[in-house]
Structure 1
């Protein structure tokens, strides 16, 4: 607790103190969200400032600074690389090419792979299968979490629950169970980072509560997803098959969020029609059914919390 408490306090206070200044900066920069024309129910959000994920990242960086250790270098590289990609996607490209919705997917994917490979090397994942799994996890969670940033408070709430779930799940791994005491368990690097990240969401959620005054944007969702992937790999590295299965349960909502959009895009480009009659990601399909935003968000949060409980029950039975 001697290290976890400073991480929690620094993350919360850092994000809370810096959030008003970041919000004013985003308004001054006119970092307006370019809402897709296909989302008819979201057109009133056109012009809302984006890149609010900087609030979360500021808190997380404060938490890491106050508890700095050498193995924070890999997540720091992920944060910087993926935030840079997100900044280009959210701000630079739309400013240089008005009407554009961001980076083309090919250079974006290339930059994401490069950042993931660098972080994998710094983490010590040099075996081909380790490198491939790490890069896959970072790409998967980075983009899955990005897709979840579609409704007010959806991504922020999911992020808090996933962080808490991974912390509790890691305490059931053989490595953690073999720790001398709870103090040693809660001093693991990924636990400190996840704790700092979880509390950093709270000030952001105050600005993102409906009607949102700011959106997270790729500058926040991509690096946050990358950090979740790094922490997930740390949990898997310490765990058994039971932990791997439980981790899959915790990340099930992320799987559902990312599974359908690539199929939809491919089908439209290849066959000039949709593969599914409903919109993707899945939360937009629920909107088309007439569900209010608050019900959809609550459903996702309750499902995510329930999955965490099921995963913990599986590990701790």
Structure 2
């Protein structure tokens, strides 16, 4: 195994940057096309938009990613180490989830149908990459029985899917968080894969993360238009949010399987989003409300209603929180690698605790404020 500072590129940097740029370019072109056709999201009480808006951006993201990944592997496959099987399973899983979301964008499927499909597909993916052990601290490793590992892994996947979906209600918020997650995943693989015994198997997964990040960047200006952030030209829809949620949750399990990251890493990537989703579900459950019914009670929605209706300023705040928690996760992984002291779970618990206190305090303050004159 190489020394810590003798890191080699898993994939040539020029190829990675080219794939990133190509995905962004193709995604932007396809976004223009989907804006001219496909389903339209009409204004509704729980929405944050006032005009009919195309909601096929997720299809542009998926198609751009698939096209660039396929072409890159076709022409430069010899320069990409690793198992194509892992990449195929991961991208196939995410794509099937995205297709389910696309159908929902058109047909507005019952929530119970969507959840049943999610559970079934997540169980299949979890079968290949179930968690077998959990690290809770230095020397504290708990072996997980197969059935518990399967169900726990599937639960994590369902949580990430719906976290991205629930938080995709403000222009730019989710698409930016997804981009950060994909880029940080790519950074983690680049840093740690050369130092891990089986890290070289993640070459295709690295390419997927980079291409999807590029596709997100290409679509972002349509979701959060420069100069007019309140007026999105297109939404990613359930197709985009479920595709991204599946990738983030699935990649967490894949990098865990190859010893590059831990199952806790996904928690760092999505910490502020997970806190908002889970605590909002708890609040609604305590009130006896239907947790499957759409609503506008997430903290970010209350912020738009009572504090500041700017989607741009809200997105910047959430992106900053996501980037901070993600970098904390990378730092905890580096500490584990350099000093052989695994504090990732403890750091994540502390981070979630801080975000939880912030959520509770801010929500209480916001609910004491009157609604803004002009709702977002």
| Common fold by TM > 0.5 | yes
Cα distance per residue 1:234-282 (max 9 Å; x no partner): 2223449x944454323212312321343355456x369xxxxx94222
Q: What SS does structure 2 have at the residue aligned with 1:188?
A: helix
Matches within 5 A, 1:22-41: 22-29=31-38, 31-39=39-47
Q: Is the 8 Å Cα contact of residues 134 and 230 (structure 1) preserved in structure 2?
A: no
Instruction: Give the Cα–Cα distance (whole angstroms) in 2 for the partners of residues 130 and 295 of structure 1.
Output: 40
In the TM superposition, residue 22 of structure 1 has moved relative to its aligned partner by 4.5
- Counterpart in 1 of 2:178? 159
In the TM superposition, residue 305 of structure 1 has moved relative to its aligned partner by 1.2
Q: What SS does structure 2 have at the residue aligned with 1:280?
A: coil
- Counterpart in 2 of 1:138? 157
In the TM superposition, residue 11 of structure 1 has moved relative to its aligned partner by 5.2
Instruction: Give the Cα–Cα distance (whole angstroms) in 2 for the partners of residues 116 and 246 of structure 1.
Output: 19
- Choose between structure 1 and 2: higher helix proportion: 1
Q: Is the 8 Å Cα contact of residues 19 and 211 (structure 2) preserved in structure 1?
A: yes
Q: What SS does structure 2 have at the residue aligned with 1:28?
A: coil
Q: Is the 8 Å Cα contact of residues 8 and 63 (structure 1) preserved in structure 2?
A: no
Instruction: Give the Cα–Cα distance (whole angstroms) in 2 for the partners of residues 88 and 158 of structure 1.
Output: 24
Q: Is the 8 Å Cα contact of residues 98 and 243 (structure 2) preserved in structure 1?
A: yes
- Counterpart in 1 of 2:6? none
Instruction: Give the Cα–Cα distance (whole angstroms) in 1 for the partners of residues 274 and 326 of structure 2.
Output: 14
- Counterpart in 2 of 1:237? 257
Matches within 5 A, 1:221-260: 221-239=241-259, 243-260=262-279
Cα distance per residue 1:139-188 (max 9 Å; x no partner): 11111111221111111111111112223334565x642359xxx75953
- Counterpart in 2 of 1:189? 204
Instruction: Give the Cα–Cα distance (whole angstroms) in 1 for the partners of residues 125 and 289 of structure 2.
Output: 38
Taking only aligned residues, the RMSD between alpha carbons, in angstroms, comes to 3.1
Q: Is the 8 Å Cα contact of residues 7 and 64 (structure 1) preserved in structure 2?
A: no
Q: What SS does structure 2 have at the residue aligned with 1:212?
A: coil
- Counterpart in 2 of 1:73? 88
TM-score by length of 2: 0.68
Q: Is the 8 Å Cα contact of residues 27 and 60 (structure 2) preserved in structure 1?
A: yes
Q: 2:216 aligns with which of 194, 197, 201?
A: 201
In the TM superposition, residue 52 of structure 1 has moved relative to its aligned partner by 0.6
Matches within 5 A, 1:208-227: 208-209=223-224, 210=229, 211-227=231-247
Instruction: Give the Cα–Cα distance (whole angstroms) in 1 for the partners of residues 94 and 263 of structure 2.
Output: 25
Q: 1:9 aligns with which of 18, 40, 59?
A: 18
Cα distance per residue 1:43-87 (max 9 Å; x no partner): 42x311102111221222124313372222212331332122111
**Count of aligned pairs between the two proteins:** 294
Q: Is the 8 Å Cα contact of residues 12 and 199 (structure 1) preserved in structure 2?
A: yes
Evaluate the alpha carbon distance shift between residue 238 and residue 176 of structure 1 in structure 2; reply closer, same or farther with a 3 A threshold: farther
Q: What SS does structure 1 have at the residue aligned with 2:169?
A: coil
- Counterpart in 1 of 2:4? none
Evaluate the alpha carbon distance shift between residue 5 and residue 79 of structure 1 in structure 2; reply closer, same or farther with a 3 A threshold: farther
Instruction: Give the Cα–Cα distance (whole angstroms) in 2 for the partners of residues 259 and 313 of structure 1.
Output: 25
- Counterpart in 1 of 2:119? 113
Cα distance per residue 1:195-234 (max 9 Å; x no partner): 1111111110121122211001001110111011111112
Larger of the two Rg values belongs to structure:
2
